[in-house]
Copies of this chain bind each other. A is one copy, B any other.
Amino acid sequence: MEQITSFAQLKAHLTDNNFVKRIAVANAVDEHSSEAALKAVESGFAEVFLFGDAAKIPVSEQIKRQFADKIHIIDIPDVQQATEAAVLAVRQGDADVLMKGLVNTDVLLRAVLNKENGILPEGNVLSFCSVFEIPAYRKLLFFGDPAVIPSPSLAQREAIINYVAQTARKFGVVCPKIAMIHATEVANPKIQYMQDYIDIMEKYRAGAFPNIILDGPLDIFLALDKERGAIKNVPTPVLGDADGLIFPNFESANVFYKALISFAGAEMAGCLAGTSKPVVLTSRGDSAESKFNSIAMACVLS
């Protein structure tokens, strides 16, 4: 496949290839999640299963008629039961993507993590992977983890690298260049996470993490800015052309994407990573575009 380098191309990829992914929405009784899911139906790449109190699920009769074969309402008035049923549908292969509706994230995660009926394979690290479009950058950027793991352990960091690489590959990046981010390119062993970076680079050189180009510590200039990175005279195969970023901790990832959304016109999509199928957790604060992009991302990953 050709590399997807923008959200517009992501949408085109889904519609041009006639994908139809089945999305289970857990307690779809709020405008904001059902609207986003229905937009994916209208765009032609989704079929939705709306779990929740049927009387409260906001879908107009006209839309129901127009997409009768693509919109399914499963009437379960209890929030927790509706959530568990949506998760189970994904677990049993009746849906390809799980999406959070009007349900507390804790309740959703409990259902996702449930050993009997959940969708996190045993031993998998639960994390979050983002896709980011910065207008001034030449391609999409994949990164983790801005939301779930505050301060990753070594094993969690390795999992995050794999999730970022897998996500990039699903978007057609054959050999993603991934930078482990720090304030400088100097490995200062006094800093907690630096030993992880050193250990990971050793494993990488020994052949772990195949089919990626990995380097770190690198700062944002060396990772994303060819011109400013080059001034530093640091030899790195990533130099200003990263596809993926691994952040030291979730606060630096979070600062990164919010600053660029506010001041550089960036748009973000994101999914839980580690689950057997992608999980979309949009929140009320996300833009309509971001919600839609997250669903589209999940559909490509599933």
Q: Which chain B positions have C-beta within 8 A of A203?
A: none
A263 and B264 form a contact (CB under 8 A): yes
Q: Is the CB of A190 within 8 A of B150?
A: yes
B contact residues around A284 at 8 Å (CB): 231
Given A182-B251, A251-B182: A260 touches B260 (CB 8 Å cut-off)? yes
Q: Classify the secondary structure of A's interface with B.
A: loop
B147 near A261 (CB under 8 angstroms)? no
Using CB atoms, name the residue of chain B closest to A261: B228
Contact A263 B219 (CB under 8 A): no
Within 8 A of B (CB), among A230-264: 231-232, 247-256, 258-264
Interface size of A in residues (CB-CB distance below 8 Å): 44
Residues B262 and A259 in contact, CB atoms below 8 Å apart: no
Contact flag A258-B137 (CB < 8 Å), given A249-B251, A252-B251: no
Identify 10 residue pairs between A and B in the complex whose beta-carbon atoms are under 8 Å apart, listed by A's number.
A150-B183, A151-B191, A220-B262, A221-B258, A221-B285, A224-B259, A228-B262, A232-B285, A252-B252, A260-B263
User: A residues 257-273 with Cβ under 8 Å of B?
Assistant: 258-264, 266
Residues from chain B with Cβ under 8 Å of A184 in the complex:
254
Is the CB–CB distance between A251 and B248 below 8 Å? yes
Is A214 close to B, CB under 8 A? no
A134 beta carbon closer than 8 Å to chain B: yes
